[in-house]
Each structure stands twice: as C-alpha cells, then as structure tokens.
Structure 1
C-alpha cells in the first residue's frame, strides 16, 4: 500500500513539473479581449405618409343631425383625397363615436349637455409629393382636426439591416484602432452582444420651394414636404487580440 501511494505521489510531482516547464500548459490562457460599441446612422426621405384626422359635430338635442354633418364633411374629405390620387383602399375609418359632452360655465355655474358625434379617418399617401396638397384639401373640406402625421419607409427591414451593418463595420474599426495603440492586432470575434436598431420617424417638415408665377399681388405660400427620417443602430462586440 505504501509503495502504491509513493508511486502516485511521484507521478503527480512529475506531472506538475512537466506542466511548469512545457511550452504548452495544460490550461490554455484566457484570451485577451477588447470590447467596443459600434453605431450606425443614416437618414432617408420617407416614401409613405399616414394622415390621421377626424370630423366631429355637436348638437344640443339630436345626435342624428350631428351625424349627418359628420357624414357630409367626412365624405367630402374622402372625395378630395381620391381626386388627388389617393386610392380608396388606402382610406379607412374607425367606427362612429357618439357621446354626450357636458360643458361647464364658470360664470354662472350652469352645465350644458350636448350630443357629440365623431369619425376618425386614416389616409395613406404613397406619393409624399402630395403631402402639402393633401393637407390643403382636408382643411378646405372642413375637417375638425388633423391628429397625427406619421412618415414611413416601405423598405424598413432592408434599411435596418444596412444600419446594423454600418454599426458592425464601425465596431471593427474601433477595435482595430484600439489594438494598434497597444502594438497588437485583432484576431477574431469573441462575442457579439446586444443589438439595438431604432427608427426616428417623428414628423418634420422642410421648405421645398415657393414658385411665383405671373404678376401675383402676394408671394405664394411655401410648399412644405416631409423631411428625412433617421434610422440608427448599435451593436456591442468583443474581439480577441493576438
């Protein structure tokens, strides 16, 4: 038994000495890592604009009269958009909303109850050049309120991939730059971390032009068009150094 223990002890000592003097240790060293963040961003003109508007009317006693007024104005707005070139299938409406509106008079403390009828409409402009004229025909038709304008791009997924590719390229550039500062080089990707792609599609307008023709007594209004929308991305990458 003692001889067996002695043999095992000698073997363990030999293994330890071998691992210390061997150029290839038993446990590989941990890789040297550089962690970077890449950001990609670019702007494009929207090719779709969604217009959200509503038509509402109040009447003291009869909601049917208010509804008739709403139907008249809403129909006029739809016809005006279709004459502009908007497809009928791109104009949708929510269910008619009928409610009681109560107004309070602070002067005498009286309350007035009236019937309120409202219809919400959404129109999709697939030609952003019609944007300014679409707003004008809606106002001329007598709508109550334009509640929201949403610019969009039809190839969003393609643009998101381009933004992410740009972020990855810039991450590699940063890793190469940092490695060069310490006289080394990037060997390979160790880990790709969180990826984040955002779209910034808030509505902004830009002045396109104001064409003046003939002897107009007043300068014409500017032609406003949707401004560019921004798509940005972030990617976190860890690279192994040589």
Structure 2
C-alpha cells in the first residue's frame, strides 16, 4: 500500500511539472491591455445571388446563367476589373412535393449562382446594387463595409493596447508600493475584427438607403504582459 501511495505521488508530480514550468519564480504583475480604433469604411464587398425554379433542369440553368451574364457584362461596362469579381459555379437541385401518402413527386428544379463583388469606391455601392436588380438578381446575401488600409488601423489599435497594459501595470505597482521592473513575458493574440455586415436585403425595389455611409468600424487589439516587480 505504501509503494502504491508513493507511486501515485510521483505520477502526479510528473504530470504537474509542465504546468508550473512556465510560471515565473519571482514577484510579478500580469496585465492585459486593450485598444480600440474607430474607422470610417471606404470600401465594401457584397454577395448577390440569383435563384430560379423551372420544371426543366436545363431551363433553370439557362435562366440563371442569363441573369449572371447580364450582371457581369454591366459591371465590366462600368470599369470593374475581373480581379474584383468572383462568380460561383451553378448549384442545381431537384424540388419534390411530399404528399401524406405515396412517393415524393418531382415538381421542378431550383438553380442558383452567387456573384461576389469588391467595391473599391463606396460611393458606387448603390449603383452596383441597382445594376444587380436590373439584371434580375433577386437576393443579396450580405454587404460588408471595410477599410482599405486595415493594417494601419490595426497597428494603431495595437499601440493603444500596449499603452493600456503599461498604464495598468504602472498603476498597480504604485498602488502596492512596488517598483515596476522589466517585461518578462508578452503574449499576443490578435482578435478577429468583424466588418460591418448588412444581411438578407430584399431585391424588390431600388436601393436608396445611404445609412452605411454613417457606419463606423471598430478595430480592436489586445496584449497580455507580465512584469517583474520589486521593492
């Protein structure tokens, strides 16, 4: 029984060792700094979809392709570059009616394609959406408002997070009558910044809203810092 007990302690110690291996063996303060920068969107990306249902699969495909081709031709005429356009392959699926009794009945085919456009000039967003409507597009999946120079704003948010961590550490050290020493460890995990998104807009009327022009994008960052402290 004694040997088993001793072996249990040894095993527990072996598994616990890595947990404490990264812990500082000196007095320290750990802080987390947060930074936020607000930016006005100057570009956008939107995805539109055309959906058609026909009795014949080939007819459904042709109807969808005709709408997409018209939309792409219109975009090209407005000077949109091919690199800013992504057009998905055709998605075709049979549609069934399920009666209470009996086998499912084929009632037609549903075809769809999606076009994603990068809009470098936000002032043109509404005209591109109107063009989609005129071409026969019947669904907007989402509109994402973005900024062109994301890295510049991210760097500013990161610097704000660093200053926040430094300020907190200095305040804590002063409050506990300690001297703030050198940085021992820095841990950085950049948060995922989400663009402003507007979803599921109906394509049954002209797009007249300019509310997106008043939107603000908040770009965030954070940093975890451990400082040495001493008297």
Aligned equivalent of 2:73: 79
Q: Return the alpha-carbon distance in structure 2 between the equivalents of residues 221 and 53 of structure 1.
A: 17
2:194 aligned to which of 197, 200, 205: 200
Change (3 A) 1:88 1:224: farther
Change (3 A) 1:133 1:152: same
Q: Return the alpha-carbon distance in structure 2 between the equivalents of residues 137 and 105 of structure 1.
A: 40
Aligned equivalent of 2:39: 44
Q: Return the alpha-carbon distance in structure 2 between the equivalents of residues 163 and 101 of structure 1.
A: 50
SS class of match (1:151): strand
Using the TM superposition, give the Cα deviation of residue 104 of structure 1 relative to its aligned residue in structure 2, in angstroms.
4.1
Checking the alignment, whether the CA contact within 8 Å between 1:160 and 1:197 is kept in structure 2 is no
Aligned equivalent of 1:238: 226
Change (3 A) 1:221 1:110: same
Checking the alignment, whether the CA contact within 8 Å between 2:33 and 2:161 is kept in structure 1 is yes
Checking the alignment, whether the CA contact within 8 Å between 1:35 and 1:175 is kept in structure 2 is yes
RMSD in angstroms over aligned alpha carbons?
2.8
Taking structure 1 as the reference length, the TM-score comes to 0.70
Change (3 A) 1:52 1:199: same
Q: Return the alpha-carbon distance in structure 2 between the equivalents of residues 81 and 118 of structure 1.
A: 19
Checking the alignment, whether the CA contact within 8 Å between 2:36 and 2:218 is kept in structure 1 is yes
2:210 aligned to which of 223, 237, 242: 223
Change (3 A) 1:239 1:45: same
2:135 aligned to which of 137, 141, 148: 141
Aligned equivalent of 2:54: 59
Taking structure 2 as the reference length, the TM-score comes to 0.73
Using the TM superposition, give the Cα deviation of residue 127 of structure 1 relative to its aligned residue in structure 2, in angstroms.
1.0
Using the TM superposition, give the Cα deviation of residue 183 of structure 1 relative to its aligned residue in structure 2, in angstroms.
3.1
How many residues get paired? 198
